[in-house]
Amino acid sequence: MRFTIYQDSRQGGRANNEDRTTYCYSREALLMVVADGMGGHHHGEIASQIAVQTLADSFQREARPAIADPFRFLQTGLTNAHSAILDYTVHHRLRDTPRTTCVACVVQDNVAFWAHAGDSRLFLMRGGKLIAQTRDHSRVRFLIEEGMLSETQAAWHPDRNKIYSCLGSPTPPEIEFSRKTPLKHGDILLLCSDGLWGEVSGEEMAVALKGANLVHAVPMLLTQAEARGGAQADNLSVVVVRWEDTYVEEPSSIISTQAMGFNEVATHMEEFGRDPAHKVDLSEEEIEKAIEEIRSTIEKFNPRKPEQ
């Protein structure tokens, strides 16, 4: 595999950043995840951390070096994350469950597989055009599909942030899956929270990223979204990859997995409470305790196999 990848997350105008992102890759597979802890629900950042960490842990265990069944992997990972969040709620006797949206994508054999719950989105871009995107699990999206609301009206609708599927809700999440989607050289997959797509459309992003250096262009998109969101801008996070088969950017920005071992996995995820972009109102002692509790919760649903 050869690809260029970039991830970033910003607090926007909010008191805390409840978004979480990660990407992991082995010799033959790539995983990308974005989770948006839901505002108004206690410990939203805990829910999003559990979601990305559950999927990353599963990938580290199963990508040897490919995922046997990507769709099953996504279904199991999202379901286990949902169960882990509920378990955390019971253990801490919370009055309300932490919740998060989540979108995740696996790429292997030049084919993309993705799944989501909520309104964190995936966009597939080709040649500066939007080829495909996920369908939000929201009341507004339902009204648009029924012809009762236009896209312009939806941007200002009072229910635009109300979703009917997420991880951590008392009811099981509705997880929606893509089809197997073959990728071409130069295709861009962009996963993001609504803080980005709510201010900059998929079509605008596709044009801005065509032929651009992701390391330079993506921060500009985030800055544009922050400016449009103003003082109340939402958290905004993104993981974006350009699929490569020849060098088209500086060699330092392109990842080649050819030299990786069959059981080797690289993971890029900030540890809870350690990233300045994800402010949490916790002391060092409380952060250490939270890290240990998250790990303990996840391991109940991602048991590690004994070494062979």
Name the band, by pLDDT with cuts 50, 70 and 90, for residue 290.
confident
- How far is residue 255's CA from residue 241's CA, in Å, rounded to a whole number? 10
> Is the pLDDT confidence value at 100 over 80?
yes
Q: What is the mean pLDDT of residues 91-116?
A: 95
> Is the pLDDT confidence value at 285 over 90?
no
More confident residue, 273 or 18: 18
* Tens digits of residue pLDDT in 65-91: 999 999 999 999 999 999 999 999 999
In the structure encoding, which two tokens stand for residue 259, read together? Answer: 């030299």
Q: Which of 53, 62, 78 is nearest to 29 (CA)?
A: 62
CATH topology of domain 2-301: Phosphatase 2c; domain 1 (3.60.40)
* Tens digits of residue pLDDT in 4-34: 999 999 999 999 999 999 999 999 999 999 9
More confident residue, 305 or 294: 294
DSSP conformational letter for 138: B
Q: What is the pLDDT of residue 270?
A: 76
- How far is residue 232's CA from residue 225's CA, in Å, rounded to a whole number? 11
Q: What is the pLDDT of residue 162?
A: 78
* Tens digits of residue pLDDT in 220-270: 999 999 999 999 999 999 999 999 954 334 555 678 787 788 888 888 887
CB 85 within 8 A of CB 167: yes
> Is the pLDDT confidence value at 205 over 80?
yes
CB 254 within 8 A of CB 244: yes
> Torsions phi, psi of 261, nearest 5?
-70, 160
> Is the pLDDT confidence value at 284 over 90?
no
